[in-house]
Amino acid sequence: MPLAAGSTATIEPIRYTTIRAPQTKKDRAKSSILAVDDEPINLEVLRTQLSLEGYDVTTAENGERALQMIEEDPPDLVVLDIMMPRISGYQVCEEIRKHYSIHELPVLLLTARNQLTDLLRGFDSGANDYLTKPFEARELSARVRTLLAVRHASQEKESHTALAKELAIARDIQRAVLPRTAPHVRGLTLATRFRPRDSVGGDFFDFYAGEKTLDLIMADVSGHGVPAALIAAMIKIAFSHQRGVTDPAALLFGLNRALWGNLDRHFVTAIALSIDLERRLLCLASAGHPPLLIHRAPNTSFYSARGRVIGLVEEAYYSKLEVQLEPGDRLVVYTDGLTEARAPSGDLYAEDRLSAFIETHSHLSSDDLAEALEQDVVQFAGETLDDDLAFIVIQIDPKVN
C-alpha cells in the first residue's frame, strides 16, 4: 500500500544577476590619469583633451610632485613628459617601476625628441609607449585607450587566476569533508553521488553507522566558492561532535546552536535521518531542506518535517517525523540541485520527474539507479548544472528481518 505523504518545506534559491551596460564617456571617468609636465600650457592641453574623452585627470608640474601623488593615490595611467628640471621623466619612470609593473601602472612618455636612442632609453626606464610632440588629439586618445585596455586585460587575467586558485582551494576543502565511501550497514545498500558545478558550492553529507543503525545528514550551504566550502567543513566538525545523538531533531538543534553567528550572511538547509533496522523505523527532521523520497513499490511519497533553516535565528526548534519501514523500501535523499536542475527550455527537473524516474527504474540496484539518475539529470539540464548535484540512494534489504 502507498505511504501517506508528509508536509514539505522548500526555500527559494537566492540568485544574483549582473547587468552590464554599454560603456559611455561617463563610465570611463573611472579611469584616472596623471599628466606630468613642467610647462603649464602643456598640462592644460593634456587636461582638456583627456577630460573631453571622459577621463578623470589630475596634473603635476614636476617629477617630485608626481611621485608624491602616485604614492598617495596611484592613478590608472601616467602621461609623463621627459624633459623636466631636477628629475627627468626617465628617472620618474624608473622610480615608478620600483613599485609597479608595466601592467599595474602603464606610463606614456611625451618628448619633443625623436631619436632612436631616446626611444630605447624610454623603454629601458620602464615606459609602455612613446609619443612625440607635437601630436594630434586622436593619436593621444588612441595611445591612452590602448594602454588602459592592456591594464584592464592584465587585471582581468590576475582576477581569473585568483579565482582559479580560490576554486581549487574550495574543491580541496570539499573533497576533504565528503566521505570517500558509503558505510557498510548490514541490511542496507547505499550509493552516493556528488557532481560539483564549475563554481564550487557547499553541498555536504556524512554518515554515522552502527551494526544495524545509520545516522545521516545532508546539508546545502547557500552561496559558492571558499566561504561555502568552509561552512561545509564547519558542519562536518559539528556533526562529528554530535555522534551518538540519534534524535534528528536534537541533532539539527545542536548544529544550529554551533553555527549560529558564524555563517556571515549564509544559511544552511539540512535534513537528518536515523534508521533503526531492528525496529524498521525511520526518524527524520528537516531544516528547510527538500523532502525525503521513499519508494515502496509501486508508489513514491515525499516526507519532510517543519524546521527553520540553520543560521537564521539563535533558538531554532525542529519537529521530527517517524515512518515505519518495510523490506524493499528505497529512500532518496538529495539537495535542491537535483529537483531544481533546469533544462534549456527553462523547465525544472522537479519532484514529479524524480518520482517517475525512481518508479520506472526501481528494478535497478542502488548503484545502477544512482548512476542512471545522475545521467538523466545531466542530460535534462543540457550538460550544464546551475548548482551542485548531490544525492544518496538507500535500499532496505528485502531480506532484512
Q: How many CB atoms lie within 10 A of CB 348?
A: 15
For domain 25-165, the CATH class is alpha beta
The C-alpha atoms of residue 341 and residue 357 are separated, in whole angstroms, by: 15
Q: Would the pTM of this model clear 0.75, i.e. be above it? A: no
At 204, list the grid cell: 555536504
- Peptide bond before 134: cis, by omega within 30 degrees of 0? yes
What residues does CATH 3.40.50.2300 cover in the chain?
25-165
Rounded percentage of the chain residues whose pLDDT exceeds 70: 84
The amino acid that residue 151 corresponds to is R
- Asked if 87 and 73 count as a contact pair (C-beta separation under 8 A), the reply is no
Interval 54-110: pLDDT, tens? 999 999 999 999 999 999 999 999 999 998 988 999 999 999 999 988 888 999 998
The amino acid that residue 266 corresponds to is H
pLDDT at 14: 26
What residues does CATH 3.60.40.10 cover in the chain?
178-396
Q: What is the CATH topology of the domain spanning 178-396?
A: Phosphatase 2c; domain 1 (3.60.40)
Q: Which residues contact 65 (CB under 8 A, 6 or more apart)?
A: 36
Of the candidates 237, 233, 270, 229, which has an alpha carbon nearest to the alpha carbon of residue 253?
270
pLDDT at 142: 83
Rounded percentage of the chain residues whose pLDDT exceeds 90: 52
Interval 148-170: pLDDT, tens? 887 877 676 666 666 666 666 66
Angstrom CA distances, 183 to 191, 218, 276, 326, stand at 10, 15, 15, 21
Determine the average pLDDT of the residues in 325-353.
Answer: 95
Determine the average pLDDT of the residues in 103-128.
Answer: 79
Confidence tier at 198 by pLDDT (50, 70, 90):
low
Interval 265-311: pLDDT, tens? 889 999 999 999 999 999 999 999 999 999 999 999 999 999 999 99
